[in-house]
Structure 1
Amino acid sequence: MKNTFIHKQAVIGTNVNIGNCVTIEDDVIIGKNTQIGNNVSILRGTRIGENCQIHSNAVLGGIPQDLKYKGEYTFLEIGHNNIIREFVTINKGTISKGTTSIGNSNLIMSNAHIGHDCAIGNNCIIGFSVGMAGEVTVEDWSNISGLTAIHQFSSIGENTMISGLSRVVKDIPPYIMVAHEPLRFAGINTVGLKRREFDSCKIDELKAIYKIIFQEKRNTKFALELVKSEFEQTLERDKILNFICNSKRGILKGIEF
């Protein structure tokens, strides 16, 4: 390990492979069987789980790019089985939430940036050069294509597919695809849902729910009441209703079915 610095107070698990010119600061925890490439910087307050791959030139746990940050002690928590590719940067939290969190089994492609206090779920794909501002929430099984820019405080629901070069300034409810400029609903994420073994009846149910939500001309509140009255209670129906009810930025617009 040429020119590698590992602070004596860092906790390194068994069978961790560390490349050349790596910096690992104090109060860092790295789980077993994790692989760390050349020129990686892992900064204080970072926790990394087991069986992760951290590729060359990644910077994990850097201070927030937020002028409100005043040096408070915060964290970056990364789960197990994640692949973090070249030149990825992930900042730790601020006093707002205290922690930036990455779940398990995510693929974060090269040059992506994840800002302070973001919360990424499990099994997500974050494409190359995705730029994610602070306090963004990304739920499980989301697929964000390359060069997408995501506004701070945005929420992205589970099982969504976002097309490349997108500009996300509104919340994106679960189970859908979004595309075009300005970004809008482009259908149900049928391919992704079938891969997750959603059957055709469930996909048809989701299509019918979103047809009401995006075609109702009066207002969103009325559309949600209509969905609640016309569809039996299911896990998926309630996830859609709860997501939209709790949206702080409002959801993106639809298209004609």
Structure 2
Amino acid sequence: MTEDKENRPCLVHPTAIIDPQASLGAGVTVGPYAVIGPHVEVGDGTEIMAHVVLDGWTKIGKECRFFPFSSIGSEPQDLKFHGEKSYVCIGARSVFRESVTVSRATGEGEETRIGNDCLFQANTHIAHNCIVGNNVIMSNCAGLAGHVVVEDRVVIGGMAGIHQFVKVGRNCMIGGLAKVVQDIPPFVIVDGQPARCIGLNSVGLSRAGIPEAVRSDLKKAFRLLYRSGLNLRQAIAAMEQELDSSEEVEHFLRFLRNAERGICRGTKE
């Protein structure tokens, strides 16, 4: 355990167990009975509360918060895992509420990655090899299976389950208890079991500061994809012809072209 370069001391409860090889940054606080393994790196100002376990080859950014009984970096719940060296990488200012679990990756040198400014509410689970972007919110008891990709500013409702290898596009909203088994295009709302696309996430787009003209084009894109009767290939061709180019529209098209599991169906298909 080390003090930071700025000489701001770490505040460690006497009952915490910290391996001497662990690296704690400036002003880190560690609560009662927390356990930190030898390969863990914790960024400046991070708060580790009572009974937290940080294990494996885990790197944590600045000013994160880990609430009681969260477990980060343990071996994945995957029968293909055989003890190889793999990683968890977490960005800055993310919050992990009570009993959140984040598994390290399966595969030598592979990683589970989480971005900045995320909120994982109580009992959420991020499985092995997941990639989670910035400003993601997972509500209580939601779970990501292995190899899921979640882009920026996604909101996942309570108890929702995301199937392995699914990709979730940015600025999406997933309803509580949803069962997601196919890729979700960016900027939409899905709900149900199995999940179906029920509309454009208009409120989320407005809050994200996306200009009105771009939001209008995304509405047209949504109608072409889900309300026109066109198949996916035809809808993409129509979007390319009818929509003005913008970063958001190009991202939407790129996501559709690269969807590997098929996309979530609409309610009127």
TM-score by length of 2: 0.92
One-letter amino acid matched to 2:142: V
| Whole-angstrom CA distance in 2 between matches of 1:201 and 1:49 | 36
Alignment-derived partner of residue 252 in structure 2: 240
Partners of 2:86 and 2:108 within 8 A in 1: no
Partners of 2:224 and 2:230 within 8 A in 1: no
Partners of 2:181 and 2:194 within 8 A in 1: no
Instruction: Write out aligned runs for 1:1-257 (5 A).
Output: 1-95=13-107, 98-256=110-268
- CA drift at 1:27: 1.0
Partners of 2:145 and 2:162 within 8 A in 1: yes
Partners of 1:155 and 1:171 within 8 A in 2: yes
Q: What's the C-alpha RMSD, in Å, of the aligned pairs?
A: 1.4
| 5+ long unaligned stretches in structure 2 | 1-12
Deviations 1:208-237 (A, max 9, x none): 111001134342111111111111222111
- CA drift at 1:200: 2.9
Deviations 1:118-160 (A, max 9, x none): 0000011011101110000000000001100110000000000
Deviates further, 157-166 or 226-235: 226-235
| Whole-angstrom CA distance in 2 between matches of 1:157 and 1:143 | 11
| Whole-angstrom CA distance in 2 between matches of 1:236 and 1:114 | 27
TM-score by length of 1: 0.97
User: Percent identity between the aligned chains?
Assistant: 36
One-letter amino acid matched to 2:213: C
| Whole-angstrom CA distance in 1 between matches of 2:249 and 2:230 | 20
Deviations 1:40-80 (A, max 9, x none): 00002011111010100000001011101111100000110
